[in-house]
Amino acid sequence: MSTNRDPILIDIPMPIITPRLMMRNVLPGDGAAMQEIKVESWNELCCWMPWTKLGVGTVDDAEKVIRENHAKYILREDMMVAAFTHDRRLIAMCGLHRFDWEFRSFEIGYYVRKSEHHKGYATELANALTRFAFGALNARRVIICAATENGASRRVIEKLGFGLESLTKADALLPDGSVTGHANYVRYDINDLPDLNVTWG
Ligand SMILES: CC(C)(COP(=O)(O)OP(=O)(O)OC[C@H]1O[C@@H](n2cnc3c(N)ncnc32)[C@H](O)[C@@H]1OP(=O)(O)O)[C@@H](O)C(=O)NCCC(=O)NCCS
């Protein structure tokens, strides 16, 4: 992949398939399903996700977010991804964010609907996104950041063998207004990433 090309010309192969998941860029019409998982998981999301300060919102608000992110995907500015089980149930929102196409750095983000927690889905989707970033997008660097106190997310990242590159003491507000630091984890390759059968395109 040439780094000199306008990013809009970069082909991104979709969908991403894992043993339990079909993951793809968000599409107009996904708003209602995303709103359903937001409502179901709202208390957990409010602990960690800065955007929850906007409130839980409506299906139309969710559809607006989906369409805005669909546009950003086409422009190659962001990649919000919906993760479905193979029986087409939406179980997580995730994606690659904060692209630097020139250096080829990407940041993974995710949340899993509450009724599907503790089943290994976050670990599976983050493993898949890591393989996809290095294998399909030619990444040099993949980052995942978690609030210092977010034990579940940090466990996911550590299970995937990301290296803890820095710990900040205080650099953001949690949605409840309290101060948090972040654990910033990085991978520069997929060496020793737990095995997972992932295909794309
Ligand atoms: C973080 C989150 C995505 C994890 O999803 P999940 O599908 O339940 O994750 P997995 O099942 O793959 O793995 C979770 C691991 O964390 C562990 N865990 C769960 N709660 C924990 C806690 N409070 N402290 C430490 N570890 C915890 C689980 O035991 C499991 O580890 P194990 O497999 O060794 O037993 C989910 O809790 C979530 O959506 N949280 C709200 C949004 C969020 O925090 N997103 C991440 C922002 S960085």
pLDDT digits (tens, 9 = 90+) for 130-162: 999 999 999 999 999 999 999 999 999 999 999
Instruction: Identify the residue whose C-alpha is closest to ligand 1 atom 10.
Output: 120
Closest CA to 148 of 117, 130, 171: 171
Of all atoms in ligand 1, which is nearest to the CA of residue 121? 7
Across residues 61-79, what is the average pLDDT? Answer: 98
Q: What is the pLDDT of residue 171?
A: 94
**Mean pLDDT, rounded, for 10-26:** 98
pLDDT at residue 165 in the model: 98
Average pLDDT rounded to a whole number, residues 120-125: 98
- Rounded Cα distance between 26 and 64, Å, is 12
Distance from chain centroid for Cα 73 = 13
User: What are the residue boundaries of the structural domains of the chain, listed by start?
Assistant: 12-190
Residues 158, 24: Cα–Cα separation, whole Å? 25
Q: Looking at the CA of residue 119, tell me the nearest atom of ligand 1.
A: 11
What are the angstrom distances between the C-alpha of 163 and each of 144, 181, 197?
Answer: 10, 17, 22
pLDDT digits (tens, 9 = 90+) for 156-199: 999 999 999 999 999 999 989 999 999 999 999 999 999 999 99
Tokens 């082909």 label which residue? Answer: 11
Ligand 1 close to Cβ of residue 132 (< 6 A):
no
Residue 196 in 3-state DSSP?
coil
Three-state DSSP class for residue 17: strand
The pLDDT score that the predictor gives to residue 41 is 97
- Could you say which architecture CATH assigns to the domain 12-190? 3-Layer(aba) Sandwich (3.40)
Long-range contact list for 96-101, CB < 8 A, 24+ apart? Answer: 96/129, 96/132, 96/133, 96/137, 98/143, 99/7, 101/3, 101/7, 101/10, 101/76
Question: Cα(154)–Cα(157) distance, rounded to whole angstroms?
Answer: 5
- SS3 helix, strand, coil % of the chain, rounded to 5? 35, 30, 40
**Residue nearest ligand 1's atom 43 by CA:** 111
pLDDT at 4 over 90: no
Residue 92 CA: nearest ligand 1 atom is 39
Whether pTM exceeds 0.85:
yes
pLDDT band at 3 (very low <50, low <70, confident <90, very high): low
Burial class for 22, CB neighbours closer than 10 Å (0-12, 13-18, 19+) = middle
| pLDDT band, residue 5 (cuts 50/70/90) | confident
Query: What is the average pLDDT score of the chain?
Result: 96
Residue 169 in contact with residue 145, Cβ under 8 Å? no
Kindly state if the Cβ of 152 falls inside 6 Å of ligand 1: yes
Contact 200, 96 (CB under 8 A): no
Mutate to test the pocket of ligand 1, among 18, 41, 117 (most ligand atoms within 8 A of CB): 117
Q: Is any atom of ligand 1 closer than 6 Å to the C-beta of 122?
A: yes
pLDDT tens, 86-107?
A: 999 999 999 999 999 999 999 9
Task: Label residue 9 by pLDDT band (50, 70, 90).
Answer: very high
The proportion of the chain whose per-residue pLDDT surpasses 90, expressed as a percent, equals 96
Q: Has residue 20 got a pLDDT over 70? A: yes
Check residue 157 and give its pLDDT. 98
pLDDT over threshold 90, residue 14:
yes
Looking up tokens 């997310």 gives 153
> Distance between alpha carbon 173 and the CA centroid of its chain, in Å?
20
* pLDDT at res. 2: 46
